[in-house]
């Protein structure tokens, strides 16, 4: 069996270190040099010939994170790695997965092409913004689910009058899976946007009177939508409202929005490093989940047991 080696890009080094530790080995030795103008030059400081190489790097903007990953893949292929798997905890540009208006890019497809063209043999990621993005790749893709992290945490809270809420119509499927698992009801926040990151109007579909509400989403960016939905839910008589989102993008005024909201807490994972701390933000790790998936891939066993 080929030797397995795990390397980290510069975007998620702490997560990569935790994944490697959970897998049972140290991170590989990689230098990520830069020229004075910012041009990147990754190089492997150990032999990877004939190895299964796993490269951990989230591709959230800036674009440097994506380009760095592609250069790492290219360098690994040229160093005669047996197989190269791009471990992308957060797949950036996934919100641009279709032409929703004239003359725009389908960025998610472009990024998929770039990573494949760089030489990746396999992709491993978690909670894509839209599941159909898996079809943009013509190589194997392991799509892990954050519910494996969040469900045990929710059970530990032992909420008495639990109900789930989707912050928009697009997230109904994701939210319904949680409601089905816990055998409770769900509600939906129907929103209308004027433009990206700006909600024009929102209304709640369903009854939350006296309920402990948990909103489910794949990512939280400026947190404007989530905080507005939380306020509407509380105004409708809910006992409490908290939110779960796999990817904490947390840009713009996100931290202020969350701190000043009615949310009891926001639970995210470490797929993207948090820039600051907040009393209302709890971070759970996906390191064990990815380590188990890597074990399954290298051992040619099923990853079905990782799903709830």
Active-site annotation holds for 191? yes
Measured CA to CA, the distance from residue 269 to residue 19 in angstroms comes to 13
Considering 34, 77, 109, 191, which one is annotated as catalytic? 191
* Residue positions annotated with a catalytic role: 191
């Amino acid at each position: 069996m080929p030797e397995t080696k795990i390397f980290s890009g510069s975007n998620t080094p702490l997560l990569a270190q935790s994944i490697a530790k959970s897998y049972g080995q140290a991170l590989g030795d990689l230098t990520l040099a830069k020229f004075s103008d910012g041009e990147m030059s990754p190089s492997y400081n150990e032999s990877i010939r004939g190895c299964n190489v796993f490269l951990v790097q989230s591709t959230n903007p800036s674009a440097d994170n994506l380009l760095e990953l592609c250069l790492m893949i290219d360098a690994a292929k040229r160093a005669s790695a047996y197989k190269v798997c791009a471990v992308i905890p957060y797949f950036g540009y996934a919100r641009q997965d279709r032409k929703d208006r004239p003359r725009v890019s389908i960025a998610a497809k472009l990024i998929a092409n770039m990573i494949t063209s760089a030489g990746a043999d396999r992709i491993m990621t978690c909670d894509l913004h839209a599941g159909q993005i898996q079809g943009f790749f013509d190589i194997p893709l392991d799509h892990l689910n954050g519910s494996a992290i969040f469900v045990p945490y929710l059970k530990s809270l032992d909420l008495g009058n639990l109900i789930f809420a989707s912050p928009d119509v697009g997230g109904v499927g994701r939210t319904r899976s949680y409601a089905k698992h816990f055998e409770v009801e769900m509600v939906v926040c129907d929103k209308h946007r004027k433009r990206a990151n700006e909600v024009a109007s929102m209304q709640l579909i369903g009854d939350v009177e006296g309920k402990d509400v948990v909103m489910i989403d794949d990512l939280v960016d400026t947190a404007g939508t989530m905080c507005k939905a939380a306020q509407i839910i509380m105004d409708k008589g809910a006992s409490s409202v908290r939110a779960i989102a796999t990817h904490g993008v947390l840009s713009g005024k996100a931290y202020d929005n969350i701190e000043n909201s009615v949310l009891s807490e926001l639970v995210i994972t470490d797929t993207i490093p948090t820039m600051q701390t907040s009393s209302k933000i709890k971070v759970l790790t996906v390191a064990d989940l990815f380590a188990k998936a890597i074990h399954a891939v290298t051992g040619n066993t099923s990853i079905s047991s990782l799903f709830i």
